[in-house]
């Protein structure tokens, strides 16, 4: 189900600050993007000043161009700063202390602050490709066929295959704060994976091809979801085999409809019936 862009959660970064002075990067990126687009406005005004009616007619187009420019400028400068920061201290997986004395925790917080402004700008764009461009620029391995941004998707140590759908309000994490611990684990989502609404994919989860995590479910850290299986619950456990990607599915339903059997009846008979009655719940 599609929803207005303004209601989508999208990629985001944490609000946690290891040190408040990191906000200077956020302020700088905001300032530089606004500072540069004012020259676009000034040039446009000088160009059409004698013809004020033309200026008014073209003003909406100018605002749109200025918005795209602000995204581009903030992305370029954020990427430059991130490259420098990562040369000083390379991001890595592991379990660390949630304390200012821990470099991995501090630099994770710093990277999050740097990404915040360009991510916010790009997410307000009405077309999802801008979110994908921003995510790929920040190091997320993803594909333009994916629908990720009705949920909350972390911004690093994430690998996502093709045709992946993240449900509304779902959370895909690669980092987690647990008490006084800070955990970073790479999360891998393979092709044709669906993550139900309000579900949580914890750091280190590996969802293999054609797997589904049902709505309001949650994986555990480092959990592996097997190929072609549907998982439900918190923690997520096998529910039934996923036959929605079996070969010839479209023809099966089409032929049954032609024979006079309602598609809904066929669906009930084949795809909602549990396939794991003989499988232990362990």
**Whether the Cβ atoms of residue 208 and residue 224 lie closer than 8 Å to each other:** yes
pLDDT of the residue at 268: 54
- In this structure, which CATH number among 3.40.50.20, 3.40.50.10440, 1.10.760.10, 2.160.10.10 belongs to the domain 5-250? 2.160.10.10
pLDDT of the residue at 82: 95
Alpha carbon distance 98, 100 (integer Å): 7
Per-residue pLDDT tens for 114-131? 999 998 888 777 777 777
pLDDT of the residue at 18: 82
Q: How confident is the model at residue 3 (pLDDT cuts 50, 70, 90)?
A: very low
Instruction: Retrieve residue 196's tokens.
Output: 């139900």
Percent over 90 (pLDDT), the chain: 44
Instruction: Retrieve residue 223's tokens.
Output: 């959990």
The pLDDT mean for the chain works out to 82
Higher pLDDT, 113 or 2: 113
For residue 53, report the phi and psi dihedrals to the nearest 5 degrees.
Answer: -65, -35
What distance lies between CA 129 and its chain's CA centroid?
Answer: 12
Percent over 70 (pLDDT), the chain: 82
pTM to 2 decimal places: 0.78
pLDDT of the residue at 213: 94
Q: How confident is the model at residue 174 (pLDDT cuts 50, 70, 90)?
A: very high
User: Does residue 135 carry a pLDDT above 50?
Assistant: yes
Q: Quote helix, strand, coil % in the chain, to nearest 5.
A: 40, 15, 40
Q: Backbone dihedral region of 36: left (phi > 0), alpha (psi from -120 to 50 degrees) or beta?
A: alpha
Alpha carbon distance 135, 144 (integer Å): 11
Per-residue pLDDT tens for 234-277? 899 998 888 776 655 566 555 555 444 455 555 555 555 554 45
pLDDT of the residue at 249: 56
Q: Which DSSP helix (H) or strand (E) runs through 36? A: helix 23-48
Per-residue pLDDT tens for 192-235? 899 998 999 999 999 999 999 998 999 999 999 999 899 999 89
Instruction: Determine how many CB atoms are found less than 10 A away from the CB of residue 124.
Output: 14
Instruction: Determine how many CB atoms are found less than 10 A away from the CB of residue 127.
Output: 8
Average pLDDT over residues 73-81: 94
Average pLDDT over residues 79-105: 93
For 27, 254, 256, 264, the CA distances from 261, given in Å and listed in that order, are 62, 10, 5, 8
pLDDT of the residue at 155: 87
Question: What sign for the dihedral angle of Cα 252, 255, 261, 262?
Answer: positive
pLDDT of the residue at 143: 81
Per-residue pLDDT tens for 14-33? 777 888 899 999 999 999 99
pLDDT of the residue at 279: 46
Instruction: Determine how many CB atoms are found less than 10 A away from the CB of residue 74.
Output: 27
What distance lies between CA 208 and its chain's CA centroid?
Answer: 18
């Amino acid at each position: 189900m599609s929803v207005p862009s303004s209601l989508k959660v999208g990629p985001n970064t944490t609000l946690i600050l290891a040190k408040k002075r990191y906000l200077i990067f956020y302020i700088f990126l905001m300032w530089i993007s606004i500072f540069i687009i004012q020259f676009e406005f000034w040039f446009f005004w000088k160009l059409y000043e004698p013809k004020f009616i033309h200026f008014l007619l073209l003003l909406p187009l100018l605002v749109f161009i200025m918005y795209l420019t602000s995204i581009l400028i903030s992305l370029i400068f954020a990427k430059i700063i991130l490259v420098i920061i990562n040369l000083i201290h390379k991001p890595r997986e592991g379990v660390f202390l949630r304390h200012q004395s821990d470099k991995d925790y501090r630099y994770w917080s710093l990277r999050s602050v740097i990404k915040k402004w360009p991510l916010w700008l790009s997410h307000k764009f009405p077309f999802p490709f801008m979110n994908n461009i921003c995510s790929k620029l920040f190091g997320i391995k993803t594909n333009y066929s994916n629908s990720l941004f009705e949920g909350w998707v972390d911004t690093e140590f994430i690998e996502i295959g093709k045709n992946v759908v993240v449900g509304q309000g779902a959370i895909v994490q690669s980092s987690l704060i647990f008490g006084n611990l800070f955990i970073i684990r790479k999360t891998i989502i393979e092709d044709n994976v669906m993550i139900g609404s309000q579900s949580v994919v914890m750091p280190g989860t590996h969802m293999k091809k054609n797997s589904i995590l049902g709505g309001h479910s949650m994986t555990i850290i480092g959990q592996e979801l097997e190929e072609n299986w549907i998982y439900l619950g918190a923690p997520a456990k096998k529910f039934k085999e996923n036959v929605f990607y079996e070969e010839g599915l479209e023809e099966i339903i089409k032929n049954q409809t032609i024979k006079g059997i309602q598609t809904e009846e066929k669906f009930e008979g084949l795809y909602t019936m549990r396939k794991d009655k003989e499988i232990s719940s362990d």
